[in-house]
Amino acid sequence: MADNEYKIPILSAAQLKKSKDEAHDREIRQNVKSHCTKIKDGITKNGSTSGNRAIWELFQNAGDLADCAEIKMTLTDNAFVFAHKGKPFTYDTLCSLVKQVSSEEKEDVEKVGQYGTGFLTTHKFSRKITIQGSMLICEDPKVYVDITDFVIDRENSYDIPKFIEDMAHQIKAVEKLMDNEQKTKPREWTELSYELNDERKKIAQTAIDEAIKLLPFVLTFNDNIGSCIIDDNTRNYHLVYTKEDKTTSIENLLCKQIIRNSTGIHKSKEYNCYYLELHEGKSRILLPLKSENEVISFGNTPRLFVHFPLIGPDYFKVDFLFHSHLFTPEEPRDNIIVPRENDATDQAASANKKVLDEMTAYLWGFLEQHVTQWKNTIQMAPIHIKDSGFTDAKTEEFYKNLKATWVEEFIKLLIVEVDGTNVSMAANNHPLVLDPKLENFLSMEENKRFLPTIYSYAHHVATIPSQDNLLSWSRIIAEWDKDKSEWYLTLDAIVKYVSLHQGTHLKEILLMLVEANELSFFETYPLLPNREMMLMKKNELRNAKSIIPELYKLVYAFDSSICAKFVHEEYADIVELTDYSRQDLRRDLQEVVKQKEDECWKSIDGPTPYDGDFLKNLISLCSVFTSESESKRSKLMPIICKYENLVFTKRIIPAWKDDPQGFDMYRQLFLSLVENEMMKIATLSSEWVKQNKETLVSFVDNARGDDYKSFCTRYAMWSGGQVP
């Protein structure tokens, strides 16, 4: 047959179409396998914070599709719906979402990123997404088709062959959308709906709760997001967020007011977000201010943003929020890329460091000029920057240097409030705070009761912050630099002051020392009071519980030096002391009497009886009895008192429970007293003897016995030296 002769096709048109369709299907399946594997791995990596991050992935995509996006989130028992008024899908962006790759719009450096792998975090809500909206199928003229109940189903992501079939089917479904009715206008809203069960509903509720906390900051950092509506039908509240720019009285200080109108459990509220701006508006620093001069804390808010929060480890936690479009974040979006032992990230890490350095330098210049006018600066003072424990040496060096620069700057700032004035820790007259060990002890819940006691002494020792802020400032400054000893007021310095001045909270601070197991201070400093409230060291004191007040009074009058070592009764149980018994008292009393005897009876000028207060106080002691029973002493003491022109006062002080059977504390004292009286009588005139003969006879009669025999023969008690 000639070449130009008419050829009859082997395949019919239907067969050829079928063959082409099958080849196209095979090509699609081959192309999507790697996407399926990547999606499976991404879903597997979703962690506990993925639901919170997912909200911001959806915000990010909406922001990329509008100049001033309007966003609405709706939560019901069965679905979480994220809707926005932004650009409709294109064939490329919808296919990119099915395959989970960034669309060609990602090539626009001004876009944050659309439908990249971060979008996989939204599968914490559900692995099945139903889309409502429009798809642009022609740019000129603008032609759209409706997207109705288009399902992206990743329920089979764990089974790659099934997942490949599902994805191939979904890509063909995108192609079929092109055949829908053509329209000149898109639908107003694009909706992504996630099916929920009870567990995923809780995840969505938590994500919305976290979003509510961060929305004021997100709206401040993103000019292309204009408003946000939250309808939570599971908890019956409705929130509408809008924003507007506000002027301030401070140069370079900008303010966005975020307005929240509410029905339900949340209150309507206005947030004034004060910020600084640099890099032609691409970088913003949110200041911790509720007004132009009143500081607040950002609490657990992430500190780094690339339009949206980088939710991850709190390695860099200062009380300022840093957003820059120039930052390159890690993937997943949990931090900016920082230096590490990886050549592939060096350029991004260096660029991030440069941006952050420029932002902090700008911030510090502003603070140095204005922070003196701020109130409640303690809220902005913490510098929680992790500077150790990294596995990567370059990363650790980066954070160590970062913290050092922040501390160096904050030391110079006038932010530590003392007596209504802000001072700097770099000043010569800088205040002191409690040393870390003492702060740690007082911060324990069971020990907070001791803070007023410590403060009552500490503020006399050094200039310190107010009692309400002392522990907080102590923690903050210890985090700045715990090794700078000149910043810290030690417990030793406080205890030394107590030992010199005693004060009005003595017992409380001594109890605190015991609770803190700082018992060595009782050996080093005089801290425990005796019964006269004189402070003494532990080894100088005794627990004289058996020396009851009535007995103590008599002993103190007799010889106060004996009583000096008796710990005050109210302090006897603070620390364990050596006991002091009545036997010990008897020994000490006998030693005092012996010394007096030696002084008077063995004088080189000749023996003389003791007299005066010593005699009077000895008589008082010898007038003490353990019971009302009769004894020689009870009969002689009234006679001795009569001789000394004293009124006999008999006192009953019962024996102590630990006294040995038959213990007599006063016997030797009384023998000395009797001998002293005989010595005195022997020197008296015969006339006196005649006048007091009856009493004298009674005295001698009652003094008969072995104890007194030698006295009677030693001293001539009347004329002739004989007993009548």
Would you place residue 135 in the very low, low, confident or very high pLDDT band (cuts 50, 70, 90)? very high
DSSP label of 33: H
Mean pLDDT of 425-452: 96
Tell me if 342 sits within 8 A of 263, measured CB to CB: no
- Cα separations in angstroms, 711 against 600, 688, 699: 16, 19, 12
Given the structure tokens 């913290």, which residue do they identify? 403
For residue 185, the SS3 value is coil
Contacts of 453 (CB under 8 A, 6+ apart): 505, 508, 509, 512
Question: Comparing 165-179, 239-253, 372-386, which segment has the lowest mean pLDDT?
Answer: 165-179
- β-bridge partners, 308: 306
Distance between CA 217 and CA 272 in Å, rounded? 10
Of 324, 278, 367, 266, which is closest to residue 112 (Cα–Cα)? 324
Rounded CA-CA distance 530/564 in Å is 6
What SS3 class is residue 422?
strand
Q: Is the pLDDT of residue 476 over 70?
A: yes
**566 in Cβ contact with 532 (< 8 Å):** no
Let me know: does 190 contact 134? Beta carbons within 8 Å: yes
Matching residue, tokens 């990119």: 96
* DSSP state letter for 68: S
Q: Is the dihedral of CA 328, 330, 336, 341 positive or negative?
A: negative
pLDDT at 713: 62
> Is 220 within 8 Å of 63 (Cβ atoms)?
no
Pick 264 or 648 by higher pLDDT: 648
Count CB neighbours of 299 within 10 A.
9
Q: What's the confidence (pLDDT) of residue 720?
A: 42
Give the Cα separation of 530 and 494 in Å (integer).
21
Taking the alpha carbons at both ends of the chain, their separation in whole angstroms is 184
Sign of the torsion formed by the C-alpha atoms of 320, 326, 332 and 337: negative
Give the least confident one: 18-22, 237-241, 591-595.
18-22
In the chain, the percentage of residues whose pLDDT exceeds 70 is: 93
Which of 62 and 587 is assigned the larger pLDDT? 587
Structural domain boundaries in the chain:
27-201, 236-398, 433-525, 595-721
pLDDT at 252: 96
pLDDT tens for each residue of 291-334: 999 999 999 999 999 999 998 888 999 999 999 999 999 987 89
Contacts of 405 (CB under 8 A, 6+ apart): 360
Averaged pLDDT score across all residues of the chain: 90
Q: What is the DSSP letter of 193?
A: E
Q: Can you tell me whether residue 661 is helix, strand or coil?
A: coil
- pLDDT higher than 50, residue 208: yes
Nearest to 110 by CA among 56, 69, 63: 63
List, in order, residues 6 or more apart from 650 with CB less than 8 Å away: 623, 625, 634, 637
Give the residue carrying structure tokens 């510098």.
383
Q: Is it the case that residue 1 has pLDDT exceeding 80?
A: no
> What would the two tokens of residue 267 be?
């209150």
* Cα gap 347→357, rounded to integer Å: 15
Distance from C-alpha of 201 to C-alpha of 648, rounded to nearest angstrom: 93
Rounded CA-CA distance 248/255 in Å is 7
Residue 112: pLDDT over 70: no
**Integer Cα distance of 77 and 100 in angstroms:** 27
In tens, the pLDDT along 116-134 reads 567 888 888 999 999 999 9
721 pLDDT more than 50:
no
Residue 619 — very low, low, confident or very high, per pLDDT cuts 50/70/90?
Answer: very high
Neighbours of 198 (CB within 10 A): 7
pLDDT at 505: 95
Q: Is 256 in contact with 276 (CB distance < 8 Å)? A: no
- pLDDT tens digit sequence for 10-58: 877 787 778 777 776 776 777 788 888 888 888 887 766 667 788 998 9
Of the candidates 249, 250, 288, 251, which has an alpha carbon nearest to the alpha carbon of residue 272? 288
Q: What angle do CA 162, 148, 112 make, to 5 degrees?
A: 80
Residue 540 or residue 109, greater confidence: 540
Band (pLDDT 50/70/90 cuts) for residue 708 is low
Whether the per-residue pLDDT at 426 is higher than 90: the answer is yes
Indicate if the pLDDT at residue 638 is higher than 80. Answer: yes
- Min mean pLDDT across 357-361, 619-623, 717-721 is at 717-721
Kindly tell me if the per-residue pLDDT of 481 is higher than 80: yes
Which band of pLDDT confidence, cut at 50, 70 and 90, is reported for residue 353?
very high
Which range, of 28-37, 201-210, 253-262, averages the lowest pLDDT?
28-37
pTM for the predicted model, two decimal places: 0.81
Joined tokens for residue 136: 């642009």
Cα distance between residue 94 and residue 115, in whole Å: 9
Type of residue found at 338: V
Q: Which two tokens stand for residue 196?
A: 């929920």
Pairing outcome for strands 225-232 and 237-246: antiparallel
Q: Is the dihedral of CA 190, 196, 200, 203 positive or negative?
A: positive
The 3-state DSSP class for residue 49 equals coil
- The tokens describing 253, both together, are 């200080």
Q: Mean pLDDT, to the nearest integer, of 95-99?
A: 90
Q: Quickly count: other Cβ atoms within 10 Å of residue 554's Cβ.
A: 17
